[in-house]
Amino acid sequence: MTENDIIDNSFYILEKDSTPWNEGDDEYTTARGFLNLGVQFWEHYDNTTWRELWKLLSGASSGDSSLSASVWTYDTPTDFVRPGGYVTTTDSAGVVTFWKVLPPEEYQKYADSTANICYFSGNASSGHSLNFNPNTTPSASATIEYPYYKSATQSSATSTVLEPGDPNFLSYFIASHMSESSESVDADLFTIAEGLLKQMKSKNNSGVWGVPSNIEDSLEDLVGFGTGGVGVATSANPTGR
């Protein structure tokens, strides 16, 4: 659903009429405000890690995606919250190098190391950066890739599509706050919204149908990772084994 679809549904719940608010109406502007509050409520609900908020750098509209000679610090996407796994770089020959991501406070322990390690620094206010080990020489023009957890989209246009898996939650969230039947929040409508939110969390945590969650091995189980060791993938050996 788009923002307009969600707000139209809120109108139908509240007004039980056939002519929804227009974007320029005060009611629509208020509904958009509550819509974005609902997205924030969903984003931080019960410390849930939402699958809808995982993304790859290659799918982002911002952030540095290729290496430059003698440069070890790169901007992340503007919606970056935290990393989700190894960073990889792929050179022009198709060789993939894995870079282990360390917490910033651990990085100084490897000040003299030439290992393929990196870390993310920064904050939501000033932005985040990806920092490669300056004792290494990454291949210039290589493509950078990594999974990351993003901040939820805030809506400012009628055509915006939001991330929550069940947008009906947002319609009821808006309606519960705009209802004239209560001085604060309509308890009945909010109960419906909260029920939809709990269902989303249950589905989010239920795993993938028919796929076991155990992994037989990982990069940590291999002999090594990065250029020159096990864990380097090529077109002839795509698994890196």
pLDDT in tens, 60-85: 999 999 999 999 999 999 999 999 99
3-state SS record for 161-228:
ECCCCCCHHHHHHHHHHHCCCCCCCCHHHHHHHHHHHHHHHHHHCCCCCCCCCCCCCCHHHCCCCCCC
- Sort residue 91 into left (φ over 0), alpha (ψ -120 to 50) or beta: beta
Q: pLDDT band at 234, cuts 50/70/90? A: very low
Measured between alpha carbons, how far apart are the two ends of the chain, in Å?
44
Question: How high is the pLDDT of residue 224?
Answer: 46
Claim to verify: residue 92 and residue 167 sit in the same structural domain: no
Q: State yes or no: pLDDT of 229 exceeds 50.
A: no
Instruction: Specify if 84 maps to a domain.
Output: yes
Query: Quick one: 123 and 65 in the same domain?
Result: yes
Question: Model confidence over 153-203: pLDDT tens digits?
Answer: 999 999 999 999 999 999 999 999 999 887 789 999 999 999 999 999 999
- Residue 118 structure tokens: 């990196």
Measured N-to-C along each axis, helices 26-43 and 3-15 cross at an angle, to the nearest 10 degrees, of: 110
What pLDDT is attached to residue 28?
98
Same domain, yes or no: 19 and 74:
no
Give domain status of residue 105, yes or no: yes
What tokens were used for 139?
Answer: 């291949």
Domain coverage including residue 39: 3-50+154-204
Q: Are 54 and 30 in contact (CB under 8 A)?
A: no
Could you tell me if 145 and 69 lie in one domain? yes
Residues 162 and 180 occupy one common structural domain: yes
- In this prediction, residue 218 carries a pLDDT of 65
- Residue 211 counted as domain residue: no
Tell me, yes or no, whether 38 lies in a domain. yes
Instruction: Return the pLDDT at 221.
Output: 60
Task: Please report the pLDDT score of residue 216 as a whole number.
Answer: 64
Q: Is residue 7 part of a domain?
A: yes
Question: How confident is residue 31, by pLDDT bands cut at 50, 70 and 90?
Answer: very high
Count of domains observed in the chain? 2
Average pLDDT of the chain, as a whole number: 90
Question: Does 79 share its domain with 126?
Answer: yes
Confidence of residue 48 (pLDDT cuts 50, 70, 90): very high
Residue 82 inside a domain? The answer is yes
Q: Reply yes or no on whether the pLDDT at 209 is more than 90.
A: no
61 in the same domain as 43? no
> Of the ranges 72-81, 89-98, 202-211, which one carries the lowest mean pLDDT score?
202-211
Tell me whether residue 69 is in a domain.
yes
Residue in 195, 201, 175 with CA at minimum distance from that of residue 37: 175
Q: How confident is the model at residue 208 (pLDDT cuts 50, 70, 90)?
A: confident
Are residues 58 and 104 both part of a single domain? yes
- pLDDT tens digits along 113-137: 999 999 999 999 999 999 999 999 9
Phi, psi of 120 (to 5 degrees): -105, 140
Asked whether residue 113 falls in the same domain as residue 57, the answer is yes
- Please give the residue that has the higher pLDDT: either 221 or 18: 18
One domain for residues 32 and 115: no
Residues 202-215 have a mean pLDDT of 83
Same domain, 35 and 97: no
Same domain (yes/no): 58, 147: yes
pLDDT exceeds 80 at position 230: no
What is the phi-psi region of residue 228: left when phi exceeds 0, alpha when psi lies from -120 to 50, beta otherwise? left
Determine the residue type at 93.
A
230 located within any domain: no
